[in-house]
Amino acid sequence: MLKNSHLKLKKFITCYFYAFEFLLIPSTRCSAINKGRLAIIPLLLCLSIFSTSYHLFFKMKSVDNVIELVYSINFTFGGIQTLITTISLNMFSKNDLFQTLKYFDDIVNSDDELMRKARQKELKRSLTIAWKLVRSFLLIITAGCIPLTLPGLLQTIFTPMYYTIPGIPSDNIFYGSVNIIGTIALFFLLVECTISMDCLFMTYLFYFHGEIYSINSVAKLLNNREILTTQCDKVLRTIYKAHRKALKQFSFLYNVTWHFYFQKFFGALMYLCTGLFIFSRINNSIIFGIIIQTFALSQLLFLCIPGQLLKNCSESLRETLYMSLWYELDIKNKRKLIIIMNGVHRGIHAETFGIGRISIFTFVQICKMAVSYTAFAYAVIL
């Protein structure tokens, strides 16, 4: 069962990079074409950014249409944030992510007796939850974004996202069809890039969450006097090795975590602000403000919950070691336990600039920031 959950998540991770690198295009003898596949999605995102920013700064004649203004702002800055995150995560951090994925293969297939039993319970539960969250988030957000294509289509007939793709004359026979299909395709490309990266990163954090709880399960054996007399040295060695490997592998993701969360929280804050702005300015299209708010709040929760879970499992492991029967150990094993405690004190935490450690309080903090910034913007614009 553990291996089944791992294979499902591993397949999702590999499919993510497979789609990003456009490996569905067969390899050729031309290296330029093979390497050019990596640039397809970034170039499409650049096209989306250029189209929306051109509409926002040059073609919009007024800001009376609040939905058009909000769409243009979100698509422009959301596209920039997604492009930066896509390049940094999929190109510069790909090797670290695959190295960590190999570590996940190792812990799932480990033959260590103590850790194998613990992982069959704790890691399996964590991966099962992660798989359910990934499927639900992808399906619900994708389906929920379909109504967002309706306002522009109803108001303009041929531009669902309000902007048009530059370079096509308005009297061209393909003008309407290209803009309808093209802008919707670029919109869903932006949405899928955004939520798939969230799912990818959440999956990695859930692996570490399950591994730390597995180590914690082994650490609870130190409360068993019979174990202390027969297998104490083995238990301490198992805890030390497993936790050291987890810390080492998470260090590869730390820099990725730092800038990933910063970029994602900035985007979610922007979506919240624009959604609140819709609530404050219009009443007849309130449903679209609700959809934007739901998307932003769902993304925030999706990003903050794994950080809170990592914090909880790290604290739980520390408490388990502190509350163990350490006073019944001999001097040699006490020294080993102290070394383990020093390592556990570091813990595994998701952090980012300006916020620190990610937890459920980060969700509240960003919501408060969104309300404050929206109130300021509302006062200035009015």
Model pLDDT, residue 280: 65
Whether 225 is covered by a domain: the verdict is: yes
- HEC letters along 52-71: HHHHHHHHCCCCCCHHHHHH
DSSP letters of 94-115? HHHHHHHHHHHHHHHT---HHH
Whether 59 is covered by a domain: the verdict is: no
Whether 7 is covered by a domain: the verdict is: yes
Q: Of 92, 90, 83, 89, give the one whose Cα is nearest residue 42.
A: 83
> Are 243 and 339 contacting, i.e. CB atoms less than 8 angstroms apart?
no
Whether 27 is covered by a domain: the verdict is: no
Place of tokens 């609870």: 220
Give the distance from CA 209 to its chain's centroid: 15
Whether 282 is covered by a domain: the verdict is: yes
**pLDDT tops 80 at residue 251:** yes
* Residue 357 DSSP SS3: strand
CB atoms within 10 A of CB 279: 14
Whether 70 is covered by a domain: the verdict is: no
Taking residues 294-310, report their average pLDDT: 89
**pLDDT tops 90 at residue 18:** no
Token pair recorded at residue 138: 């992808």
Whether 157 is covered by a domain: the verdict is: no
Q: What is the pTM of this model?
A: 0.90
Structural domain boundaries, residue 1? 1-20+94-141+186-381
Whether 156 is covered by a domain: the verdict is: no
* Residue 1 DSSP SS3: coil
- State how many domains the chain has: 1
Taking residues 290-304, report their average pLDDT: 85
Q: How high is the mean pLDDT of the chain? A: 86
Model pLDDT, residue 284: 55
Q: Which residue has the higher pLDDT, 47 or 21?
A: 47
- H or E element at residue 18: helix 2-20
